[in-house]
Amino acid sequence: MKTRKVLAGIALALLGVVGAGAHAQQPPLKIGAVLEVTGPFASIARQIEQGMRLYVAQHGDTVAGRKVELIIKDSTGAQPDVAKRLVTELVTRDKVDFVVGFGLTPNAMAAAPVVTEAKVPTIIMNAATSVIVSKSPYMARVSMTLPQVTLPIAQWALKNNIKKVYTLVADYGPGLDAEATFKKTFTAGGGQIVGDVRTPLKSPDFAPYIQRIKDAKPEAVFVFLPAGEQGIAFMKGYRERGLAEAGIRVIGTGDMIEDDIIEAIGDSALGVVSTHHYSAAHESPVNKAYVKAYEERFKMRPNFMSVGGYDGMAVVYEVTQKLNGKIDPDKAMDVIKGMKIDSPRGPIQIDATTRDVVQTVYVRRVEKKDGKLYNVEFDKFDNVRDPGN
C-alpha cells in the first residue's frame, strides 16, 4: 500500500516534470523594435512604443502559447549606421521572431538588407518614403506613404480654387516624395508652383524660408515636416511673420499638425487643411475606445504614430496565431499579404503584391471641439494605394 502510494507519487511528480518541460519548450515570442527613443525624434518613438504596449495590454502578453517579449533598441535619431547595427544585433544575437518599429526613413532603409539576409519578417510602423518596402521581401508597412497622403491634398487644393502654391518640405526621403507628388498632381490639374524649399532634417531654422514664402505671395504653402517639434516651429514662424494676414494659407499632409503637437501650436492652427490617414477625432466606435484607453493609460492624446505601433502589433499577433506560434518567415509574409485590420483609423489592408498599406485618406480641417484643437475630418478618399513617384 505504502509502496504503491510512493510509486504513484513519483509518477505524478514525473508527469509534473514532463508537463513543465512541454511548457518550457515554448520560447518567448521575441519582437525587436528599433525606435528613435532619445534625441530630436523621441516623441515619435514614444507614441509608437505606447501604441505597441497598449495593444499588448489589451490583447494579453501570450500569443499561441508564446509569451511576448518586446526588445526596444534606441537608434537615437536619424542614424542609419546605428539602426543597421541594432537590427543586426536583434537578428543574430537576440534571434527575434519579428523586427518592428522605424519612425524614420533612413533607419528603415538601413534595416532592409539585414532583414532580407536574415529572413526576418519586419513591420514598418511609420517610416513613409514610398520605396522602403520594395527594398526587402520581408518588409510590410502598416502606416502610410507620403505619395499616398499627399495626392489627395493636391486634388483638394485644385478643387478649392487654390492656384498658386509654394512648397516647403523636409530635405530627405518622405519630403522629396511629398514634394514630387504634390508638384506633379497640382501642375497636371492646372495649378502653379511659385517656389519651393527643402529644409534640413536636423534643427531647421524656418524664419528665412518663411520670409521668402511671404514675398512670393502664394495662395497657400504646402508643407511636409516630420511629426514632432518641427511643425510647432514652422507654425510659430507662420504666425509671427503674418502670413495668414497676407492671405497665405497652410495646407499639407497631417504630419506638421499632428495630434501630439496641435495644442502646442495653438489657435494659429485653426483652419489648416491637411490630408492624412489618422486623426484622434476620427468618428468611429473603434477609435473612440482607442483614444479613451490610450489617454487613460498614458495621459496624452494618441497620434498617427501610436496607431502604427498598435496596428503593427495586430499584424504580429495575427501572424503568430495563424502559424500556431511557429514563425516561418516565408509563411509569415504569406499571412501578411492581403491581411485586413480593423484599425482605429478605419479598415486597412496590406496589399498582397506590394506589402504596402491600402487605406482611406481623410481631408481634415483644424477646429475646436470642447475647447481643444483637433483635425476634424470632413471628406475622404477611399482605398488609396501608394501611387509611387
Q: Which stretch binds ligand PHB (CB under 6 A): 9-17, 56-64, 121-129, 185-193?
A: 121-129
* Segment lying near ligand PHB (by CB under 6 A), choices 52-60, 99-107, 273-281, 329-337: 99-107
Of the residues 68, 110, 221, 227, which one makes contact with ligand PHB according to CB under 6 A = 227
Minimum CB distance to ligand PHB smaller for 158 or for 256: 256
The single residue among 99, 128, 261, 373 that binds ligand PHB, judged by CB under 6 A, is: 128
| Residue list 146-185, contact with ligand PHB (CB under 6 A) | 174
Q: How far apart (Å, rounded) are the C-alpha atoms in residues 84 and 110?
A: 5
- Rule CB under 6 A: say whether 259 interacts with ligand PHB: no
Among 255, 260, 356, 377, interactor with ligand PHB by CB under 6 A? 255
Pick one of 47, 75, 79, 129: the residue that binds ligand PHB (CB under 6 A): 129
Residue 314 interacts with ligand PHB (CB under 6 A): yes or no:
no
Distances (CA, A) of 247 to 164, 200, 215: 12, 26, 12
- Pairing of the two strands 192-199 and 29-35: unpaired
Phi, then psi, of 274 in degrees rounded to 5: -140, 165
With CB under 6 A as the contact rule, the residue among 226, 302, 309, 312 that binds ligand PHB is 226
C-alpha cell at 321: 496565431
The Cα 288–Cα 281 span in angstroms is 8
CB 324 within 8 A of CB 346: no
64: left (phi over 0), alpha (psi -120 to 50) or beta: left
Q: Is 105 an interacting residue with respect to ligand PHB (CB under 6 A)?
A: yes
Q: Which of 29, 48, 104, 180 binds ligand PHB (CB under 6 A)?
A: 104
At its nearest, how many Å lie between ligand PHB and the CB of residue 124? 9
Q: What are the E-state strand segments in the chain?
A: 29-35, 62-63, 66-74, 98-101, 122-124, 139-141, 164-170, 192-199, 220-224, 249-253, 273-276, 340-343, 346-350, 357-369, 372-384
Residue 81 grid cell: 549606421
Residue among 253 and 320 whose Cβ is closer to ligand PHB: 253
Return residues touching ligand PHB (CB under 6 A). Answer: 103-105, 126-129, 174, 226-227, 255
